[in-house]
């Protein structure tokens, strides 16, 4: 009844070659001996009909199951909207766990620590990623009451989580991803900042330091600040804020790790503070969650809403973007994600309860850099920032309108009366949060668009997808522009493939060089400004890497960190080219 048979006239799916590889390898359902049980049409119909089925239990709904399933099918197979990977993999299957993001509490006892290890394993097995704060663990060498021994401290327990993760494949397909967070005022903070110094250590973790407002002020005023033992509340020493901040900056310069999150700012936007504090985010940092909370994400492909022919208008986005169609997709996307909450089966009862109480969803965008290419707007321009703000304000406003509509049909999220929305008399909404900008690492491959709000890494590049597999691709908008400008040649495409960028290729038209910029051509501050522009209109957070060239200085990173603080970002991740041995994305050089 949940999975309708596919209608005979259901259109086939046009897959790009990369999508075909990724889907076959990781997404299609497989039989006991590894044989493929479905193709793209089967898969998207399975997802569409399972998610649309949830609609039928709401009396106020005006949708028929099959009609909505067809809408969802068109949405996905037209590459206009995709839900996060676990939804694609597991909707309508026995596993049925559909969320990408979880946060688990780690309490200060052996029982609680190993409960968290176990629960993380269960979540990884179901395809989700986990975030933890280790801030509640007593520091190393503090006394342990029951034995008279001494505690091992957060870093040593972190190693256990890392090892456990190593052994479990997420949803049977990918190794688990984790976020580990420690507060800046934890006595073991210096060890934590240095934890990834040795190559390969904590390889299943992203680490972030939770910076407090008090700490940032101490940096600003060049003061020291107290380290507090979480179990006793006692001060365990003081550090000079600027020295710690400098170490953070230097580590980020050396290896990109750890990142930083502004934890007080995250809590200022916590819609349900009566349920406790937010201590951690999901693995990639875009989704702050309460302990035992989970969230499912979905992303709209902005480049699918481009209308050709207005590239030379003074404001190309006015008529060059199909705002009406975008609005419709946002509304359907919110309905889809709210249905996903009902369809998902979580590995722990406490997670189910929390999720159903707050009903957080994270609608975001991808294909942003592609849309800018299509509109002939340079990523590193005030115009692009302005359009970014307009775009995300539109997604947030329409997303909230859709959530309001769902509240009318289905009731507000149960924790609404005690939420900050009720307090501010905004609402009622169906979802405690509506918007999140995810990295869209695999979704963007499926949709054949640029990821999240990132600029293109290269106009042509090789992608290491998994197990050393390598896919080469030229950005289609660049290729089309080169043809239109009459400068397309196999030789040009080859040069671009080895360099990644057309920076400095003076024989190409100036306007083309201005628009077709890559992550490496862009001054780092523009990365940050773009993140801040989107963050302003995002309920949760924005996944963004500020890419820096290899010759970027420590000073550059300090400026980026400080700017992230001043511009209202919730965190920041930097990556200096070439500073780690393994990169997920590579330009042709040195391959």
Region near ligand CDP per CB under 6 A, out of 47-55, 227-235, 244-252, 437-445 = 437-445
Q: Are 517 and 380 in contact (CB under 8 A)?
A: yes
Q: Which two tokens stand for residue 459?
A: 């106009």
Q: Whole-angstrom Cα distance, residue 190 to residue 202?
A: 16
- Candidates 284, 453, 530, 533; binder of ligand CDP (CB under 6 A) is 284
Region near ligand CDP per CB under 6 A, out of 22-30, 72-80, 432-440, 571-579 = 432-440
CA neighbor of 40 nearest in space, from 30, 27, 31: 27
Is 295 a binding residue for ligand CDP by CB under 6 A? The answer is no
Is 101 a binding residue for ligand CDP by CB under 6 A? The answer is yes
Catalytic residues: 282, 284, 286
Q: Which two tokens stand for residue 154?
A: 């957060």
Region near ligand CDP per CB under 6 A, out of 33-41, 281-289, 387-395, 557-565 = 281-289
- Candidates 248, 321, 443, 557; binder of ligand CDP (CB under 6 A) is 443
Q: Rounded to the nearest whole angstrom, what is the least distance from the CB of residue 129 to ligand CDP in the complex?
A: 2
Q: Which two tokens stand for residue 74?
A: 């068109």
Pick between residue 358 and residue 444 the one whose CB is nearest to ligand CDP. 444
Restricted to residues 118-157, the positions that interact with ligand CDP (CB under 6 A) are: 128-129
Is 438 a binding residue for ligand CDP by CB under 6 A? The answer is yes
Phi-psi region of 389 (alpha: psi -120 to 50; beta: other; left: phi over 0): alpha
Q: Which two tokens stand for residue 302?
A: 């902005």
Cβ-closest residue to ligand CDP?
Answer: 129
Pick between residue 139 and residue 256 the one whose CB is nearest to ligand CDP. 256
Phi-psi region of 376 (alpha: psi -120 to 50; beta: other; left: phi over 0): left
**DSSP element (H, E) containing 580:** none
Q: Rounded to the nearest whole angstrom, what is the least distance from the CB of residue 98 to ligand CDP in the complex?
A: 11
Q: Rounded to the nearest whole angstrom, what is the least distance from the CB of residue 540 to ligand CDP in the complex?
A: 11
Q: Whole-angstrom Cα distance, residue 465 to residue 17?
A: 13
Q: Whole-angstrom Cα distance, residue 134 to residue 137?
A: 6
Pick between residue 153 and residue 452 the one whose CB is nearest to ligand CDP. 452
DSSP letter at 364 equals E
Residue count at the site for ligand CDP (CB under 6 A)? Answer: 20
3-state secondary structure of 508: coil
Peptide bond into 428 cis (omega under 30): yes
* The length of the chain, given as a count of residues: 591
Pick between residue 10 and residue 438 the one whose CB is nearest to ligand CDP. 438
- Candidates 13, 22, 100, 548; binder of ligand CDP (CB under 6 A) is 100
Q: Rounded to the nearest whole angstrom, what is the least distance from the CB of residue 28 to ligand CDP in the complex?
A: 15
CA neighbor of 77 nearest in space, from 43, 100, 44, 121: 44
Is 275 a binding residue for ligand CDP by CB under 6 A? The answer is no
Pick between residue 101 and residue 216 the one whose CB is nearest to ligand CDP. 101
Integer angstrom CA distances of residue 231 from 71, 135, 185, 264: 52, 10, 13, 20
Pick between residue 173 and residue 267 the one whose CB is nearest to ligand CDP. 173
DSSP letter at 79 equals T
Backbone angles phi, psi at 579, to 5 degrees: -85, -5
Q: Rounded to the nearest whole angstrom, what is the least distance from the CB of residue 87 to ligand CDP in the complex?
A: 8
Is 283 a binding residue for ligand CDP by CB under 6 A? The answer is yes
Pick between residue 85 and residue 501 the one whose CB is nearest to ligand CDP. 85
Is 177 a binding residue for ligand CDP by CB under 6 A? The answer is yes
Is 441 a binding residue for ligand CDP by CB under 6 A? The answer is yes
DSSP letter for each residue of 173-233: TEE--EEEEEETTSTTHHHHHTTT-STTTTTTEEEEEEE-HHHHHHHHTT-EEEEE-TTT-
Is 573 a binding residue for ligand CDP by CB under 6 A? The answer is no
Is 545 a binding residue for ligand CDP by CB under 6 A? The answer is no
Q: Rounded to the nearest whole angstrom, what is the least distance from the CB of residue 251 to ligand CDP in the complex?
A: 22
Q: Whole-angstrom Cα distance, residue 315 to residue 313?
A: 5
Q: Rounded to the nearest whole angstrom, what is the least distance from the CB of residue 364 to ligand CDP in the complex?
A: 8
Is 43 a binding residue for ligand CDP by CB under 6 A? The answer is no
| Burial classification of residue 254, based on how many CB atoms lie within 10 Å of its CB (0-12 exposed, 13-18 middle, 19 or more buried) | middle
Is 170 a binding residue for ligand CDP by CB under 6 A? The answer is yes
Provide the binding-site residues for ligand CDP, judged by CB under 6 A: 84-85, 100-101, 128-129, 170, 174, 177, 282-284, 286, 297, 438-443
């Amino acid at each position: 009844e949940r999975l309708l048979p596919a209608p005979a006239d259901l259109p086939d799916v046009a897959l790009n070659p990369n999508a075909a590889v990724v889907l076959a390898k990781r997404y299609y359902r497989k039989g006991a001996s590894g044989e493929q049980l479905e193709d793209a049409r089967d898969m998207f119909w399975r997802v569409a009909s399972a998610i649309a089925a949830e609609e039928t239990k709401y009396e106020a709904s005006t949708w028929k199951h099959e009609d909505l399933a067809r809408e969802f099918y068109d949405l996905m197979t037209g590459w206009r909207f995709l839900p996060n990977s676990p939804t694609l993999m597991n909707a309508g299957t026995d596993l049925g766990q559909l969320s990408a993001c979880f946060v688990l509490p780690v309490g200060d006892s052996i029982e609680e620590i190993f409960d968290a290890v176990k629960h993380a394993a269960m979540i990884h097995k179901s395809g989700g990623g986990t975030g933890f704060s280790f801030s509640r663990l007593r520091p190393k060498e503090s006394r342990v009451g029951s034995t008279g021994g001494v505690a091992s401290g957060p870093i040593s327990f972190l190693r256990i989580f890392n090892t456990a993760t190593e052994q479990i494949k997420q949803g049977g397909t990918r190794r688990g991803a984790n976020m580990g967070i420690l507060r800046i005022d934890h006595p073991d903070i210096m060890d934590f900042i240095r934890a990834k110094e040795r190559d390969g250590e904590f390889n299943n973790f992203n680490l972030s330091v939770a910076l407090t407002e008090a700490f940032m002020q101490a940096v600003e005023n060049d003061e020291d600040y107290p380290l507090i033992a979480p179990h006793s509340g006692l001060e365990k020493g003081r550090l000079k804020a600027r020295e710690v901040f400098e170490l953070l900056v230097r580590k980020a310069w050396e290896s990109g790790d750890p990142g930083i999150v502004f934890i007080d700012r995250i809590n200022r936007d916590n819609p349900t503070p009566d349920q406790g504090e937010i201590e951690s985010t999901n693995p990639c940092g875009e989704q702050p969650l309460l302990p035992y909370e989970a969230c499912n994400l979905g992303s709209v492909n902005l480049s699918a809403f481009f209308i050709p022919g207005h590239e030379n208008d003074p404001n190309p986005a006015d008529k060059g973007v199909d705002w009406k169609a975008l609005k419709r997709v946002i509304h359907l996307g919110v309905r889809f994600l709210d249905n996903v909450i009902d369809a998902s089966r979580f590995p722990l009862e406490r997670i189910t309860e929390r999720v159903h109480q707050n009903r957080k969803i994270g609608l975001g965008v991808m294909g942003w850099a592609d849309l800018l290419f299509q509109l002939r707007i340079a990523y590193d321009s005030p115009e692009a920032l302005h359009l970014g703000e307009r775009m995300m304000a539109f997604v947030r406003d329409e997303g909230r309108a859709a959530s309001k509509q769902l509240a009318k049909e289905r009731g507000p999220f149960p924790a609404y009366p005690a939420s900050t929305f009720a307090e501010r008399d905004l609402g009622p909404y169906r979802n405690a949060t509506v918007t999140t900008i995810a990295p869209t690492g695999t979704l963007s491959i499926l949709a054949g668009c640029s990821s999240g709000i990132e600029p293109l890494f290269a106009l042509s590049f090789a992608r290491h997808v998994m197990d050393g597999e390598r896919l080469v691709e030229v950005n289609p908008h660049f290729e089309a522009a080169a043809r239109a400008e009459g400068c397309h040649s196999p030789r040009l495409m080859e040069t671009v493939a080895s360099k990644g960028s057309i920076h400095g290729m003076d024989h190409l038209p100036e306007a083309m060089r201005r628009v077709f910029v890559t992550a490496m051509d862009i001054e780092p501050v523009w990365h940050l400004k773009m993140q801040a522009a989107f963050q302003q209109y995002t309920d949760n957070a924005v996944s963004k890497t500020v890419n820096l060239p290899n010759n970027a200085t420590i000073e550059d990173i300090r400026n980026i960190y400080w700017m992230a603080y001043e511009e209202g970002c919730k965190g920041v991740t930097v990556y200096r080219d070439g500073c780690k041995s393994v990169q997920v994305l590579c330009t042709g050089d040195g391959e």
